[in-house]
Structures are given as C-alpha cells and as structure tokens.
C-alpha cells in the first residue's frame, strides 16, 4: 500500500487548527502584582526593598509575612514590622550568579586570545601558530573570566513582587 504525501498547505491547516485553541487561551494567569499573597509566598530570608508612603524605603531580609504586615530584619540587626496598608511596593533583590558571567568572559576572552595568538607571525617568534594560539588563548580566557565575574557581581536585579493598587488610598488618608 502506497502512502500518499499530504500537501504542505493541508499539513499547515491541520497544525493551525490544533494549536489555535492553545494560543487563544494565552499564558496561564499569573497572580496580580497587587496581591499580598505574592509577598507571603516569598521564602524567609529573601532580600527585599520595601517602599512606603512618603518615600520611606527599607531594605532588609524577610522574617515573616502575615495577612496584615511583614517583618524585616534590617542590615543593622533590628527587626521592623511594617503594616501592609503602609506598603506602596516591594521589590525582591536578586544578585546574579557570577558563574554565567565568568563562563561567558572565559569563552570570549579565550577565543579572542587564541585568534590574536594564531595571527602572530611564527617566523618572528620561537612559537608555532598553535603554540601562540594556546598561550594567548589561555591568557585571554583568564582575563575574560575575571572581567566577566566582576561585571556579573555588580549586577543586581530588582524584581517587583507587590504594588499597592492604584485605587486604594494611603493609610494616612483612610477613614477607619
């Protein structure tokens, strides 16, 4: 029995019909940034930057997050309890691992050094092109790894975890 080849347009239509419902549904709904449960879901010890009303900002490690407040351990070792109604926004501070920057720098530095070494004229040195490429590649890799590690260590990412809804009033204006 011979199998008949389907036309590309037929295959494309079948594929589109199968994937359209998935695409139309969109990505799964993420918790809203105005949902305090996102703060409660953070692991204890998370490094946070908490912005309050009147431009007051605290940075510390999360000790506890309850329904109506959170407790931070400040850099000086003191604990600070902050009411949820005072919080304007909370950022989770994440430092990037230096591993990826180190590896990227190693690769780029090694390749650049090897290219430089291979381009040297072997008649002007006691080394062959391969030897020059190996030496310069090793030096370039070491320098690139160091630069990559330093650059990655300096990178700090502030991920917005919570933001007070725009329609809610500051606690100092609310009528209780």
pTM of the shown model: 0.56
Structural element, H or E, at residue 112: helix 98-119
What does the alpha-carbon distance between residue 117 and residue 106 come to, in Å, rounded to a whole number? Answer: 16
Give the model's confidence band at 6: pLDDT under 50 very low, under 70 low, under 90 confident, else very high.
Answer: low
Domain boundaries, the chain: 37-95+155-163, 98-153
Q: Which residue has the higher pLDDT, 153 or 92?
A: 92
pLDDT of 15 higher than 80: no
pLDDT score for 13: 47
pLDDT score for 126: 75
Mean of the per-residue pLDDT values of the chain: 79
pLDDT score for 154: 79
pLDDT of 3 higher than 60: no
What does the alpha-carbon distance between residue 47 and residue 56 come to, in Å, rounded to a whole number? Answer: 17
What is 37-95+155-163's CATH topology? SH3 type barrels. (2.30.30)
Buried b (16+ CB within 10 A) or exposed e, 135-159: ebbebbbebbbebbbeebeeeeeee
Give every strand in the sheet of 156-163, ordered side by side: 79-83, 69-73, 57-65, 47-52, 87-95, 156-163
Question: How far is the CA of 47 from the CAs of 76, 116, 173, in angstroms?
Answer: 14, 43, 30
């Amino acid at each position: 029995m011979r199998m008949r080849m389907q036309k590309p347009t037929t295959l494309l239509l079948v594929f589109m019909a199968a994937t359209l419902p998935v695409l139309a549904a969109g990505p799964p709904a993420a918790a809203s940034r105005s949902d305090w449960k996102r703060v409660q879901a953070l692991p204890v010890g998370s490094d946070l930057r908490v912005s309050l009303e009147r431009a007051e900002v605290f940075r510390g490690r999360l000790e506890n997050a309850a329904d109506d407040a959170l407790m931070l351990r400040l850099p000086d070792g003191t604990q600070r309890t902050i009411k949820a109604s005072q919080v304007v926004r909370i950022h989770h501070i994440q430092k990037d691992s230096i591993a990826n920057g180190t590896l990227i720098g190693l690769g780029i530095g090694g390749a650049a050094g090897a290219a430089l070494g291979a381009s040297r004229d072997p008649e002007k040195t006691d080394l062959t092109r391969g030897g020059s490429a190996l030496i310069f590649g090793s030096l370039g890799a070491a320098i690139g790894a160091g630069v990559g590690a330093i650059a990655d260590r300096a990178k700090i990412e502030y991920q917005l975890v919570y933001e007070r809804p725009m329609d809610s009033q500051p606690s100092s204006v609310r009528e209780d």
